[in-house]
Amino acid sequence: MNRAPFGRAVVNKRSLQYRGLRSLISPYLAPGLIGTGLLDPAANQIMDIHNLGVSYVYEPGFGTVWEFDGADGNVESTVLGAGMGTCPKGPISYCWWCTKSSAGEAGLGRILQQDGEVIIYANGNNLDHTDYRWTGIDGGWSRTGAFPNSSIPKHFCITYDAVIAGAGPQLYINGLFDGAMTETTAPTGTPTDIGGGQRRNVGNAFDSSSRTWDGRIWDVRIYAGVLQPAQVWRIFDQKTRFALYELFTRFFLSEMLSVLYISPFVASRRP
């Protein structure tokens, strides 16, 4: 009779510990982080890594493509592989891809924003999207690697979401790489605050293919992909390290203390 309440207390305690453990690791098991399959880079279906403990507000799901009309009013979906599908237009606060296809050239780049840092992978030959990388924090940029060939993305840009009065959601350029850039070229202009902790850079106007850049993006696609161990960028950030520390102290140490506390009582009740 005396053991039942104590036993229930232990079960409840472990249940609470399990729920605490699940709450600690659930941000890293969200949709878009763990799944199956790998998009084909040769078919321009490059995967995206996102939401690594960062407070992004929307998770479109696996294999989802967002397409937005650009300055030319066209949704250029020919760069995509078949069977990807599209989603309606709408406001987003997210990390995304930006690409433009011109004269048969299809360039893709991946943008991963995490903890205020933006990492861009420019895919010059449409086969390997890790050849070239720009890393920047608030407009300060550095280059890693070299161009694989001269067929670099024509209009590769970094964009943020903003709402223009009377115009609805628009995506604005933060940094632009044009087809004529050299290896030492970095985005120019001064990033300006646009609210919500977001910044933009509109100092890269250009005219290409008889079309004048007007500050909006031509073509944006957001790929929700699958987390692959080889592609994790700083996954053990401060939040993750703290979560692991908390997991150890709250779960494993409490279990050890429970064993040390319970064992004398169990031993005393043995016949």
Q: pTM here? A: 0.17
Q: What is the pLDDT along the chain (271 residues), one digit of tens a residue?
A: 333 333 333 333 333 333 343 333 333 333 332 222 222 223 322 223 222 222 222 222 222 222 222 222 222 222 222 222 222 222 222 223 333 332 222 223 333 322 222 233 333 222 222 223 333 333 333 333 333 322 333 223 332 222 222 222 222 222 222 222 222 223 333 333 333 333 333 322 222 222 222 222 222 222 222 222 223 333 334 455 556 666 666 666 666 666 666 555 555 555 5
- Per-residue confidence (pLDDT) for residue 100, from 0 to 100: 31
**pLDDT score, position 266:** 52
| DSSP line for 151-170 | ---SEEEEEEEEEETTTEEE
Which pLDDT value is given to residue 157? 30
The pair of three-digit structure tokens given for residue 237, joined into one six-digit string? 């950030």
Spatial distance between the Cα atoms of 199 and 116, rounded to a whole number of angstroms: 10
Spell 138-151 as b/e; 16+ CB within 10 A means b: ebebeeeeebbeee
Distance CA 113, CA 96 (A): 9
* Beta strands 108-114; 97-98: pairing state: unpaired
- pLDDT, position 244: 61
Contacts 24+ apart (CB under 8 A), 230-235: 231/47, 231/49, 232/49, 232/52, 233/49, 233/52, 233/112, 233/114, 233/119, 234/52, 234/114, 234/115, 235/52, 235/53
Specify the pLDDT at position 263. Answer: 55
